Amino acid sequence: MTVPARPAKGAAHCSACEAVCCRLTVILQPEDHIPDHLTTYSPEGLHVMKRGEDGWCVALNSVRMNCGIYESRPTVCRRFVMNSPYCKAVRAEYSDPVAASVRHESAA
């Protein structure tokens, strides 16, 4: 979601990713100004980005696989750093959810 100019060789990069972080729950902050039709409320009452039936955020440009509201994207999305440990974990979980769950259990 945050794209450094020069990615390290072999590192995760948004340009070669299926925007899997855009499948996560994005909790909106008071400073976010997102059009109502792109947001909803979780069962817990949290104001969140809406997701489609495919699991991706409805603000995703599904042709280019990048954020369709990049300039005004939520705070949580701005803080999500490409190639960070969380980015790598989300990618690993998406590409191999069974292995990722085993890793989670081993770490517990």
Which window, 40-48, 80-88, 95-103, contacts ligand SF4 (CB under 6 A)? 80-88
For 106, counting Cβ atoms within 10 Å of its Cβ (0-12 exposed, 13-18 middle, 19+ buried), the class is exposed
Give the nearer residue to ligand SF4 in terms of CB position, either 86 or 102: 86
For position 80 contacting ligand SF4 by CB under 6 A, the verdict is: yes
Please report which residue ranges of the chain form alpha helices under DSSP H: 75-79, 85-95, 97-107
Closest CA to 59 of 32, 75, 37: 37
For position 87 contacting ligand SF4 by CB under 6 A, the verdict is: yes
**Smallest gap, in angstroms, from Cβ of residue 13 to ligand SF4?**
6
For position 90 contacting ligand SF4 by CB under 6 A, the verdict is: yes
